[in-house]
Amino acid sequence: GAVVSQHPSWVICKSGTSVKIECRSLDFQATTMFWYRQFPKQSLMLMATSNEGSKATYEQGVEKDKFLINHASLTLSTLTVTSAHPEDSSFYICSARLAGGWDTGELFFGEGSRLTVL
Amino acid sequence: AQSVTQLGSHVSVSEGALVLLRCNYSSSVPPYLFWYVQYPNQGLQLLLKYTSAATLVKGINDFEAEFKKSETSFHLTKPSAHMSDAAEYFCAVSDTKDGNNRLAFGKGNQVVVIP
């Protein structure tokens, strides 16, 4: 149980285009999803916290107009990288927390999406 | 805010030898602690978690960790390393910011298993 799926796993795009990454909780409802960015050989950097039905909360230094997050349902959150540039190339990982119950903070992670901007 | 510290970004261990990854936490409240593993180009997979029950926690693939409040530690061990254990390992602690419950991650340990 508690499976999170991301799509696409790999995406290559031209500079200036926008890319959408989907994050789905397949067998549970997730009121809260988190989007992380990971540079090579580094830890995960939290970009934003996405709550279903409300605006995402962005971490300091993350451009909300560049990284658009939508969490329209309890099973789907999307991250759109707008007007992508080569410096946006990275590994993006989403995670979700089970809705309700005793919250220990455990997160379930998607497989990650590797974005390469040419 | 809660945080964790992992020292030594790269850890080399011989196949069959003990794996020991250190994690120290800082928390103003009783913590929930986690160890995750990440294989190349994949997301994170939970190895084990401490949620204020037994202090010695057993996880998948023969990994275990012991919560020691006096040392503010949650070190990860495995008695005998396998080649398949080569991966990145992250320690994490539950943290709350602006009313949102989230995880704070350590910098990670890259484990290399030497045949």
Nearest residue on chain A to B93, judged by CA atoms? A105
Contact A95, B30 (CB under 8 A): no
Residues B18 and B81: their CA atoms lie apart, in Å, by 6
Report the C-alpha gap between B25 and B6 in whole angstroms: 9
From A112, which residue of chain B is nearest by alpha-carbon distance?
B43
Is residue A43's pLDDT more than 60?
A: yes
A48 beta partners: A35, A58
Average pLDDT, chain A: 90
* A113 CB neighbour count, 10 Å cutoff: 24
Q: What is the pLDDT of residue A103?
A: 65
One-letter amino acid at A71 equals H
Q: What type of residue is B107?
A: K
Q: How many angstroms away from the CA of A14 is the closest CA of chain B? A: 21
- A6: pLDDT strictly greater than 60: yes
Backbone angles phi, psi at B6, to 5 degrees: -120, 125
Task: Give the lowest-confidence range in A19-28, A62-71, B81-90, B101-110.
Answer: B101-110
Per-residue pLDDT of chain B (115 residues; tens, 9 = 90+): 788 999 888 999 999 999 999 999 998 777 889 999 999 888 899 999 998 778 999 999 999 999 999 999 999 999 999 999 999 999 999 877 666 677 889 999 999 999 9
> Please, is A51 exposed, middle or buried when counting C-beta atoms within 10 Å of its C-beta (0-12, 13-18, 19+)?
middle
Residue A101 has pLDDT above 60, yes or no: no
pLDDT of amino acid A59: 92
| Distance, CA of A26 to CA of B31 (rounded, Å) | 29
> How many Cβ atoms are within 10 Å of A16's Cβ, its own excluded?
10
In this predicted structure, the answer to whether residue A30 has a pLDDT above a threshold of 90 is no
Predicted pLDDT at B7: 87
Give the span between the Cα atoms of A108 and A1, in whole angstroms.
10
Q: Does B53 touch chain A (CB under 8 A)?
A: no
Test A97 with B106 for CB contact under 8 angstroms.
Answer: no
Shortest CA distance from A6: residue in chain B: B43
Task: Kindly state the average pLDDT of the residues A55-69.
Answer: 93
Tell if the CB–CB gap between A91 and B107 is shorter than 8 Å. no
Name residues 24-43 of chain B within 8 A of A (Cβ). 32, 34, 36, 41-43
Query: Which of B11, B9, B8, B27 lies closest to B19 in space, CA to CA?
Result: B11
3-state secondary structure chain B: CCEEECCCCEEEEECCCCEEECCEEECCCCCCEEEEEECCCCCEEEEEEECCCCCEEECHHHCEEEEECCCCEEEEEECCCCHHHCEEEEEEEEEEECCEEEEEECCCEEEEEEC
pLDDT of residue A98: 75
